[in-house]
Amino acid sequence: MPYYLKENKIELLKNGKDYFASVIQSIKQARQSIFVEAYIFSHDATGIKILTALKEAAKRNIDVYLLLDGFGSRDLTQKVIDEIKASKIHFLFYHPKISPYQMKRISLRRLHRKMFLIDHRIAYIGGINIIDDANVPNGKAPRIDYAAQLEGSVVYSISQSMTKLWKRVSWAHLEKSYVPKYIRNSTVSFPNGTKLSFIERDNFRHRQDIEKAYLHAIQNAKHEILIANAYFIPGKKFERALINAARRGVSVTLLLKGEMDYFLSNATRAFYGKFLKEGITIFEYTKSFMHSKVAVIDGSWSTIGSSNIDPFSLLLSREANIMVLDKSFASRLKKNIEEDIQLGGTEILLKDWDKAHLIKRLKSRMAYLFIRLSLGIANI
């Protein structure tokens, strides 16, 4: 069970428009340091705004540390990279020049976290990459996604995690001069604040922490489970937990991505028949591009983060989620997910799925079998 810290403040942020406006404001107010981690950093309109804000912070002698995944941000040109380094921003790639198409475990271990840390006092965490809402694979904008701004005692845990990872990557790059000095706790407490738990996934001590936190909440659910997740390919434990919850009378609703941007995304649909027969409700979001990674259980527990519910997030990548024990926040998040369902969700019915979706079912089985084969080859 996760350990929850009290005296925190959390603000829900939906989509890049609200998220990046808040992030840029915090960057402008920074006084000491800024840490950034991202899977994708796109040099589009939004990426340029963020980069401009980071450059201006570096000019004010703020220590800026930018850590990007070497595969997710592979489209950054050398010209842009040179501009970043020339601006006195400390810049590193996580696992650069390694293709995930090589079926080796290390090739599939990516930095999938999306976080900002300002002065070790304010943190942002969620599923939003540094990319414009209109920059979507299928052309259906805007991108639907969630993040949260955090203040309070939980930020110190995030600070330790981000600085530790920067040190490890900088040592690997032989950039020891970039390692930050010891960080003291400079967080602010909020009496009667929100209970939060920062949960990360790595390939050392925290391999199953995010999945275990999800499973604990699902297994203890009494009334309702609402999950919105873009890449949903659960393992056996997760699958059984949802089915068992439905069998004991818990209302289980899944909002999943309807537009498959990658062939392997079709593996999500391999679970439809089984889940629908167990009474689990499934909606596909088709209005625009959904990238959400959120959940609400029993109106009191909720989570926002970078972790998908698939083998790549739960078994391989570095991920970060915030777990929230707060009825008010859970209510706001639930309302947003329900609005997504109402405005862009299409319910998948068992009678329709069994009869009318032969091609989709075949593609889903092929994608699922390919993923299982790939994980087997990589010895995962």
Tally of CA atoms within 13 A in the half-sphere of 308 that contains its CB: 21
Asked whether residue 262 carries a pLDDT value surpassing 60, the answer given is yes
Q: Is 209 a catalytic residue?
A: no
- How far is residue 317 from each of residues 69, 95, 109, 112, 186, measured CA to CA in Å? 11, 11, 5, 6, 29
Contact 282, 252 (CB under 8 A): no
Given 95, 112, 257, 334, the catalytic residue = 112
Q: Which residue has the higher pLDDT, 109 or 40?
A: 40
Q: Is 334 a catalytic residue?
A: no
Question: What confidence tier does 178 reach under pLDDT thresholds 50, 70, 90?
Answer: low
Q: Is 119 a catalytic residue?
A: yes
Question: What confidence tier does 45 reach under pLDDT thresholds 50, 70, 90?
Answer: very high
Contact 223, 349 (CB under 8 A): no
Q: Is 112 a catalytic residue?
A: yes
Asked whether residue 341 carries a pLDDT value surpassing 60, the answer given is yes
Q: How far apart are CA 2 and CA 34, in angstroms?
A: 27
Contact 165, 285 (CB under 8 A): no
Question: What confidence tier does 354 reach under pLDDT thresholds 50, 70, 90?
Answer: confident
5-19 pLDDT, tens per residue?
Answer: 999 999 999 999 999
Give the residue ranges of DSSP H helices in the chain. Answer: 15-28, 45-59, 78-86, 105-108, 154-172, 209-219, 236-247, 272-277, 311-315, 327-344, 350-356, 358-377
State mean pLDDT over 300-327. 95
> Between vectors from CA 24 to CA 20 and to CA 29, what angle results, nearest 5°?
150
> Per DSSP, what are the bridge partners of residue 317?
none
DSSP string covering 208-275: THHHHHHHHHHHT-SSEEEEEESSB---HHHHHHHHHHHHTT-EEEEEEESS-SSGGGGGGGGGHHHH
Structure confidence at residue 179 (pLDDT): 64
Question: What confidence tier does 131 reach under pLDDT thresholds 50, 70, 90?
Answer: very high
Please state the domain extents for the chain: 5-178, 199-377
Question: What confidence tier does 107 reach under pLDDT thresholds 50, 70, 90?
Answer: low
User: Which residues have a Cβ under 8 Å from the Cβ of 158 and sit 6 or more positions away?
Assistant: 115, 117, 123, 125, 150, 198, 320
User: Which residues have a Cβ under 8 Å from the Cβ of 248 and sit 6 or more positions away?
Assistant: none
Structure confidence at residue 27 (pLDDT): 98
The architecture of the domain spanning 199-377 is 2-Layer Sandwich (3.30)
Given 69, 119, 202, 310, the catalytic residue = 119
54-71 pLDDT, tens per residue?
Answer: 999 999 999 999 999 999
Structure confidence at residue 99 (pLDDT): 56
What fold, for 5-178?
Endonuclease; Chain A (3.30.870)
Question: What confidence tier does 174 reach under pLDDT thresholds 50, 70, 90?
Answer: confident
Q: Which residue has the higher pLDDT, 368 or 18?
A: 18
Structure confidence at residue 18 (pLDDT): 95
Given 293, 310, 334, 340, the catalytic residue = 293
Structure confidence at residue 375 (pLDDT): 62
Closest CA to 96 of 64, 73, 65: 73
Contact 190, 9 (CB under 8 A): yes
Read off the DSSP letter of residue 367.
Answer: H
Asked whether residue 241 carries a pLDDT value surpassing 80, the answer given is yes
Max CA distance (Å), the chain: 63
Give the per-residue SS3 of 52-92.
Answer: HHHHHHHHCCCEEEEEEECCCCCCCCHHHHHHHHHCCCEEE
5-178 against 199-377: fold identical: yes
Structure confidence at residue 288 (pLDDT): 92
Q: Which residue has the higher pLDDT, 187 or 305?
A: 305
Given 18, 63, 261, 298, the catalytic residue = 298
Q: Chain centroid to CA 369: how far?
A: 25
Given 291, 310, 326, 334, the catalytic residue = 291
Q: How far apart are CA 108 and CA 80, in angstroms?
A: 25
Asked whether residue 378 carries a pLDDT value surpassing 60, the answer given is no
304-316 pLDDT, tens per residue?
Answer: 999 999 988 988 8
Residue 139's φ and ψ, nearest 5 degrees, are 80, 0
Instruction: Work out the mean pLDDT of the chain and round it to a whole number.
Output: 90
Dihedral of alpha carbons 162, 164, 178, 72, sign: negative
Structure confidence at residue 367 (pLDDT): 75
